[in-house]
Amino acid sequence: DGGITQSPKYLFRKEGQNVTLSCEQNLNHDAMYWYRQDPGQGLRLIYYSQIVNDFQKGDIAEGYSVSREKKESFPLTVTSAQKNPTAFYLCATNPDSSGGPQHFGDGTRLSIL
Amino acid sequence: KNEVEQSPQNLTAQEGEFITINCSYSVGISALHWLQQHPGGGIVSLFMLSSGKKKHGRLIATINIQEKHSSLHITASHPRDSAVYICAVLGSARQLTFGSGTQLTVLP
């Protein structure tokens, strides 16, 4: 089945630790995106990548880092510098960089203890 | 003021009712998306439209570019339609700006 796999679905980490969220896709899409969702707010863009080995900051990139070494993978690291990391994180893809993301993963809920 | 405003924030309906969710935006856009988010969190794209109207099954989406307004209609609603419905607009920066969503609950 073609799709986007985010793992794990739930993640708990102690304050001060870095944590990496996985996003893998087998859709052969060029563009990949990371969004953060907080209660009562719209999704906000953290980082996006239009091609391998290239990525751009979104609206709320501070405290996060990404890599795009392979077309199918776009991991997001939540660093200890992120002041309020507890949130729901969604990965998305699009065949190209036009039109915005149209395919979404099931998300990872990160809780900092 | 948010660039994308949805109303209502919460909506409860009886099975079979006709449902309308509204989306207003304040910026110029090239397209508008309607998305559905299920309780588990996964999001599915329902429609992308830039003019007029689109229909898929019991779902209908309309957009009025001049009035900067879009509506999502659900006919003959069913409990399985219960979800969060999200409006998102594609602006000049080729990125999506999302509304905060409408929580729909359809009671049997």
pLDDT single digits (tens) A35-62: 999 988 889 999 999 999 999 999 999 9
User: CB-hemisphere CA count at 13 Å for A67?
Assistant: 7
CA distances from A51 to A25, A57, A72, A99 (A): 14, 14, 10, 15
Per-residue pLDDT of B9-32, as tens digits, reads 999 999 999 999 999 999 888 899
CA B27 to chain A, closest CA, distance in angstroms equals 16
Nearest to B100 among A41, A45, A104 (CB): A41
Report the sign of the C-alpha dihedral through residues B64, B90, A22, A59, in that order.
negative
Per-residue pLDDT of B76-104, as tens digits, reads 999 999 999 999 999 877 788 999 999 99
Instruction: Please state, rounded to an integer, the average pLDDT across all residues of chain A.
Output: 92
Would you say B48 and A102 are in contact if contact means Cβ atoms under 8 Å apart? yes
Looking at residue A82, its pLDDT comes to 87
Per-residue pLDDT of A11-32, as tens digits, reads 998 888 999 999 999 999 999 9
CA distances from A19 to A25, B73, B81 (A): 20, 40, 35
pLDDT at residue B2 is higher than 90: no
Residue B35 to residue A104, Cβ atoms within 8 A: yes
Read off the pLDDT of each residue in A51-80 and give the average, rounded to a whole number. Answer: 96
Nearest to A99 among B48, B86, B98 (CB): B48
Contacts of A40 in chain B (CB under 8 A): 100
Per-residue pLDDT of B34-53, as tens digits, reads 999 988 888 999 999 999 99
**The amino acid at A59:** D
Residue A42 to residue B33, Cβ atoms within 8 A: no
pLDDT at residue A94 is higher than 60: yes
Work out the number of other CB atoms within 10 angstroms of the CB of residue A106.
17
3-state secondary structure of B101: coil
Contacts of A100 in chain B (CB under 8 A): 31, 33, 88, 90, 94-96
Would you say A47 and A62 are in contact if contact means Cβ atoms under 8 Å apart? no
Residue A100 confidence class, pLDDT cut points 50, 70, 90: confident
Residue B42 to residue A97, Cβ atoms within 8 A: no
Residue B60 confidence class, pLDDT cut points 50, 70, 90: very high
Name the nearest CA neighbour of A22 among A70, A62, A81, A58. A70
**What gap in Å lies between CA B49 and CA B94, rounded to an integer?**
15
CB-count exposure of residue A84 (10 Å: 0-12, 13-18, 19+): exposed
The DSSP code for A70 is: B
Looking at residue A2, its pLDDT comes to 63
Looking at residue B92, its pLDDT comes to 76
